[in-house]
Structure 1
Amino acid sequence: MPRISADTVAEHRANRLRALLDAGRDLVTEGGPEALTLAALARRVGLSRPSLYEYFRSREELVAAIVTDELPEWARFLERAVAGAEGVSAKVEAYLRAELGVITDGSHGAVVALSAHALPDASRELIRTEHERLLAPLVGVLEEAGVGEPGLRALLIHGMVESAARAIAPGREDHNETVIRALVGQVLHGLLGEVSSG
């Protein structure tokens, strides 16, 4: 029996799986989606290919595991951001800031790049379901505010956040805060709501 590095075999497997997922994400961040192969992952963590097959039978299974591992944590982060705010406007702003933070985090790009690759239908369905959970806190706030078609509105707002993320520049805090305030203003007040009706 192989030597384990935890109190139980289950803990050892959970720790090893965590290390594999983190190493896989690092490979994608460093070299793009093409860098993620079972051979490269085995080399990175010092496992033999047969040992790696105990965790992932194919590259597609590895990709799906990395993507579905990340999405629930992002969903919990967004839920906590909204729960910590008081009032509809503050909750929407908290959601926008949190989602923008997630999108501009380096690991997000790796996950998005991976999810664009061909995956089995079951994996795609799981990713789609988890992605919907990312919008759920915002949908809840919009429902609470009596906004019509809250699911559609949340999806459109998500598109605005993705656009704002492209305007974010590392190390330019004043500029980034201007982008965030413009995004919040656009979502909460619309374009014409921000100018005098004169």
Structure 2
Amino acid sequence: MPRISERTVAEHRARQLRTLLDAARALVAEEGIEALSLASLARRVGLSRPSLYEYFRSKDDLVAAIVEEELPRWASLVEAALTGPPDLVGKVEAYIRVQLDVMTDGRHAAAVALVEHALAEPARERIRDGHAQLLGPLVAAFAAAGAAEPELRAALVQGIVDAAADLAQRTPGRGEAIIAAALAQAVHGLGPAAAAESAAGSGQGQGAG
């Protein structure tokens, strides 16, 4: 058992948990999702497997903990982004931009990748509950604007965000074009404005490459 250096056992456990989660994120970033296991994490931090089981009961429990730790900061960024724009279109655009910024940011890369990893249902339920926090400000924006079925509309916007983030990660250098197309699709649908904005975004992406 590692020596307790903090004033209380609770403080020691909290510090150790942060260390373990940081090490797990680094492991995923350096070696990929498949490299993450309780055994590999134990080796990385110099703990025995029994000591690690005091914090995580399984790999699924570890994955859920990594994602859950990111969600409060993520949610605060989303909420802050939506407080600025006065109109619904501006709020939807702000939501898409901040979500894509977060989902393509290296700090969150492990959490984003792990969300897509095959997990048992209890762990997936924990992650779904946390993601509902992210949709809250957008649902509220739709409701305040009098839009029908605000929860459904927010979920559909999130679907565009998820698809855009996946494309951005698989096609480096096209980030701005993908964001422009996602914004156009979410805000203008298939109207002329969408075509114009998507074309402009594609030009930016080609220039950046």
TM-score (norm 1): 0.82
Q: Which runs of 5+ in 2 are unaligned?
A: 196-209
Tell me the equivalent position of 2:180: 181
Aligned partner of 1:60: which letter?
D
**Does the CA contact (< 8 Å) of 1:85 and 1:91 recur in 2?**
yes
- In the alignment, is the contact (CA less than 8 A) between 2:64 and 2:123 conserved in 1? yes
Structure 1 distance, partners of 2:60, 2:187, is 40
Task: Give the drift of 1:18.
Answer: 0.7
Q: Relative contact order (C-alpha < 8 Å, sep 6+): which is higher? A: 1
CA-CA distance at 1:86 after TM superposition: 2.9
Please, what is the CA RMSD of the aligned residues? 2.5
Identical aligned residues as a percent: 56
**Residues of 2 paired with 1:34 and 1:44: CA distance?**
15
Identify which range, 53-62 or 19-28, moves more after superposition.
53-62
8 Å contact 2:78–2:134 — kept in the other structure?
A: yes
Q: CA 1:117/1:107 → structure 2, altered by over 3 Å: closer, same or farther?
A: farther
Q: For the residues of structure 2 that align with 1:109 and 1:127, how far apart are their CA atoms? A: 15
Q: Judge which range, 40-49 or 68-77, deviates more.
A: 68-77
- C-alpha distance in structure 2 between counterparts of 1:41 and 1:57, whole Å: 13
Task: Report the equivalent of 1:117.
Answer: 118
Inter-partner Cα distance in structure 1 for 2:118 and 2:64: 10
What displacement does 1:122 show? Answer: 2.8
**Is residue 2:22 matched to residue 1:22?**
yes
The verdict on how the C-alpha distance between 1:24 and 1:2 changes in structure 2, with shifts beyond 3 A counting, is closer
Cα drift, residue 140 of structure 1: 1.2
Provide, for residues 135-176 of structure 1, a one-character-per-residue CA deviation record: whole Å limited to 9, x for no partner.
121111111112222222212211222233314765x5xx54
